[in-house]
Structure 1
Amino acid sequence: MDSYPLIKVSAHAGFIRDYHLEDLDSNYDWFRIPGFNPTLNQRLFEVEGNSMAPTILDGDLVICQTQKKIENVLDGTVVLVVTKEAILIKRFRAGHDPGYLLLENDNEKEQSQLKISRKDVLEIMSVRGKVTGVLVPHHEIASKGKISALEEALELLKKEVFKLNKKIASMSS
């Protein structure tokens, strides 16, 4: 079991400012995560804000692994992007413009897409896991199951309506 440096929200600005320093991680507290199989170039970051809710919540700790090549990041991956001005946690979207990264929120209330120049990116990390102190209320879990069942039933209904429309069209001809 290895240790990881924890970059708290209060240390984000210092992390960006001192990013070029080789012993940067020595400035932070180190933690062990039981049950996680670590590889090199990983850090813990404390999350601020709810732009990625319900996937990641304010105060969660995300376990991030450095990605050497942006091209290796899969569409839909949750990433932590370190720019010259901010640390962002967003969902990566494969774009058509190779000079930019497309990032978006998971939070329905904060739906937006952010376009960042690759020149402004100091580092991109994939989020490999999270540590949270939030318990999801039972009624929310049950509601999600019901919504999924309704979505499946609606999809089946759409297919049946399509078949009926096809039969009616063939009978009318």
Structure 2
Amino acid sequence: MKNYNRDKSRITMLREMLGLSQKDFSDNAGVSQSALSQLETGKTKISLDTLQKISLAFKVNCNWLVNGKGDIFLKEITKNKIKIRNSILTMDIQDTALIPLISEEAHAGYINGHQDTDYLGRLDVYKIPGYEHGNYRLFEVNGDSMIPTIYPREILVSEHADNWDEIENGSLCIVITEDGIVAKRTYFYEEDRSMLILKSDNAKYKTHSVPIDDVLEIWYIRARITNIFSHEQPFDFQKIRTLESDMAELKAQMKNLTDSSK
């Protein structure tokens, strides 16, 4: 988790440079003190939403905070736009309702550029009703390992998991490692949280685990955009009418038998 250490040292460095306690820093940035503490101790990675809040609160260069490059503080700020490529979008930072799409073809590029502000700014973005506020991504599904819950080529609306310790067993998540981007049900061993267990809903695929140190990002799956529709056959009303007629005839025959036995 080498990126954790870089995040931690620069966030701590910034806070100490400003002469702020964790409480004062978190209050000014609009993040919880517990989240800040976990960032500084390296338990979680900085999310793009938190990155944006810190940049706005303290006029910090996002590129420096993520990559250690450039000036620490921003030199030019306009009313509506930071004069850098924002970590989420290349647009007015107030318009956070647009969500970047990572298509199947872009999976490899995203793995390499998930913390590259220039790369993130070049992704196509979309507005999804109901998901205007928060740190979201759209991931296109690759493969059939989650059928019947998720189908290939569906688009998954996913929310960044800031605190991995709070992920509940069985949660549907997008898990990103250097080996790929997968949609799975996630589990932790209660006695050993150093391994993340990935389970498929498709019984043809075996459950496997990955070291938590190999995980780059985790995103909760919140919704899906699909072109898969049910192919159930419509009711055959002619068959229903025939069945009703047969039942009526059977009842009549039963009545005749009852009457003749009296």
TM-score w.r.t. the length of structure 2 is 0.50
Q: Distance in 2 between matches of 1:124 and 1:44?
A: 13
How many pairs does the alignment contain?
137
Determine which of 224, 227, 237 is the counterpart of 1:130: 224
1:157 is matched with which residue? none
Give the secondary-structure state (helix, strand or coil) at the position aligned to 2:204. Answer: helix
- Name the structure where strand makes up a greater proportion of residues: 1
Q: Distance in 2 between matches of 1:108 and 1:29?
A: 34
Residue 151 of structure 2 corresponds to residue 57 of structure 1: yes
Give the secondary-structure state (helix, strand or coil) at the position aligned to 2:117. Answer: coil
1:46 is matched with which residue? 140
How far 1:68 moved relative to its partner?
1.1
Counterpart of 1:41 in structure 2: which amino acid?
Answer: N
Give the secondary-structure state (helix, strand or coil) at the position aligned to 1:108. Answer: coil
| Percent identity for Structure 1 against Structure 2 | 31
2:114 is matched with which residue? 19
Alpha carbons 2:198, 2:208 under 8 Å: kept: yes
CA RMSD of aligned residues (A): 1.5
Alpha carbons 2:113, 2:120 under 8 Å: kept: no
Q: Distance in 2 between matches of 1:4 and 1:27?
A: 12
Q: For structure 1, which segment, 52-61 or 67-76, has the greater mean C-alpha deviation from structure 2 after superposition?
A: 67-76
- CA deviations on 1:68-114 (whole Å, 9 max, x unpaired) are 1111111111000111221111001232321110110001222x211
2:124 is matched with which residue? 29
Q: For structure 1, which segment, 80-89 or 58-67, has the greater mean C-alpha deviation from structure 2 after superposition?
A: 80-89
Counterpart of 2:226 in structure 1: which amino acid?
Answer: T
Structure index of larger Rg? 2
Residue 160 of structure 2 corresponds to residue 66 of structure 1: yes
Query: Which of structures 1 and 2 has the larger relative contact order (alpha carbons within 8 angstroms, sep 6+)?
Result: 1
- For 1:153-172, what aligned pairs fall within 5 Å after superposition? none
- CA deviations on 1:110-137 (whole Å, 9 max, x unpaired) are 2x21111011011111100000001022
